[in-house]
Amino acid sequence: MNSSKPLDLSARNAARARQAILTKPPGSLGQLEELACRFAAWQGRAQPEDLRPAITVFAADHGVTVEGVSAFPSAVTTEMVRNFANGGAAICVLARALDARLEVVDVGVAGDVAALPIVHAKVRPGSQNLAKQAAMSAVETEAALEAGRAAARRAVEAGANLLIAGDMGIGNTTASAALICRLTGAAPELVVGRGTGVDDAGLANKHRAVKTALARVAWENLSGLDTLSELGGLEIAAIAGFYLEGARLGVPSLVDGFIASAAALCAKTMEPSLHDWLLASHRSAESGHDLALKALQLPPLVDLGMRLGEGSGAAVCVPLLQLAVKLHNGMATFAEAGISGKSA
């Protein structure tokens, strides 16, 4: 069910051949050239269509917040979901600027958001405390994965050819740090960061929670699904499902920051070929994001010092990708412009 669609390598090669005859020195547009060729492979067209991004923000609460790991109370998850619904969050502004489809999915918010005009796919009202027990049962993790898959299907059915997943969940940088440590073998000291801006005491609490969680499962042979269940969160699992379904349908995902990369690592353990359908947007200011990107083998497009989440870092990169496609399609060839090619 999770197998990724094969890339269209003939379309990619045709796109590279076109790049070679456009009115510019070969390679002079740098990464923009290869980005256009990647979209050719994803779309199966030597000249890819303009990008139609769809942004889905998955929201859920985390039981680990009782360990004092966040600078904000859990109630902020509910309050921010309300802000999304009212159009006041950063990702709402970016979606409007990009004319992008925006959907908000409650996959595990602890508060009451039933009256809001969002997608209601609540698996349970927040995860368990991952420092003490599995964050989710296997059944709950599968349900969250399916919520993400369903969201990807809705986005693609609505016409999207580029997917962006965003996150909202107080405590989710702790869960993401635990996942990245487990899946990369990196020490918590290299991965755990300040998240929403915790003070030194909060940072010590985060280190303690992640170390305790990792020690709890240290001797277990965990599958990707098991790892998500033990150390993850409902919105993280949903993002993993979103990426997996996008790849199955043949639509690439632009990966956001720390939380999104943790989800991508989990998803890649379930389907290694997923890598071909992911593109990293930015390098987060959050500690450990570099380690996650290196494990994913995804170089980021930009580094703007962002650490907001919501899909915001990915959304900011869409105009750059759109320009790569437009340059590829709109430039004249040497023959069309009547310009002499490179001397022999």
Give the dihedral sign, CA 176/286/259/255: negative
* Whole-number pLDDT of residue 45: 98
* Whole-number pLDDT of residue 341: 75
Tell me the per-residue pLDDT of 92-150, one tens digit each, with 9 for 90 and over.
999 999 999 999 999 999 999 999 999 999 999 999 999 999 999 999 999 999 999 99
Contacts of 133 (CB under 8 A, 6+ apart): 216
Contacts of 214 (CB under 8 A, 6+ apart): 178, 181, 182, 188, 231
Tell me whether strands 162-168 and 53-60 are parallel, antiparallel or unpaired. parallel
Radius of gyration of the chain (CA): 20
Report field, pTM of the whole predicted structure over 0.95: yes
* Whole-number pLDDT of residue 344: 61
* Whole-number pLDDT of residue 215: 98
* Whole-number pLDDT of residue 2: 63
Known catalytic residues? 310
- Residues in the chain, pLDDT under 50: 1
* Whole-number pLDDT of residue 343: 73
* Whole-number pLDDT of residue 259: 98
